[in-house]
Amino acid sequence: MPNETAQDSLSDNNAAGLAYVTIVPAIIFLVVAPYNQKAFIRFHCWQSIFLNIGLFAVTFINIIPFLGQIIFLIGFLVLFVAWVIVLMRALKGDRYKLPFIGDFAEKQAGF
């Protein structure tokens, strides 16, 4: 049987990208070593959490008749495009910082 090297953990890029899939992996990566020891992964986890908070706020605005629904549609579209951008950038290994949210994520990640 050939000697194969097994990789025990995800690569940094894959872990950062996975943090954007839902909020659950982002929270797990902030708690579990060795992921919580890498600033790159912590940044993307925090940015994902703040992006999800923004999505929750936009969804909550949808309760308001008519005007809230317009704001929801525009906000959801903007957040969806931002989510696709940060997901692709994280998988490439870039630390792409969103306006407003990225500053909070940098502070939390320790940059």
Tens of pLDDT, residue by residue over 23-75, are 999 999 999 988 899 999 999 999 999 999 999 999 999 998 999 999 999 99
Q: Is residue 10 part of a domain?
A: no
Residue 9 lies in a domain: no
Q: Report the distance separating Cα 76 and Cα 74, nearest Å.
A: 6
Q: What is the mean pLDDT of the segment spanning 12-28? A: 93
Q: How many domains does the chain have?
A: 1
| pLDDT of the residue at 83 | 95
Domain with 98 in it: 18-109
Q: Going by C-beta distance under 8 Å and a sequence separation of 6 or more, which residues neighbour residue 30?
A: 36, 42, 45, 46
In-domain check, residue 45: yes
For the chain, the average pLDDT equals 89
Q: What does the pLDDT average to over 96-103?
A: 91
pLDDT(3) > 90: no
Amino acid at 8: D
Give the number of residues written for the chain: 111
Q: Quick check: is 57 in a domain? A: yes
The answer to the question of residue 13 being in a domain is: no
Q: What is the mean pLDDT of residues 93-105?
A: 91
Question: What is the rounded CA–CA span in Å between residue 68 and residue 59?
Answer: 9
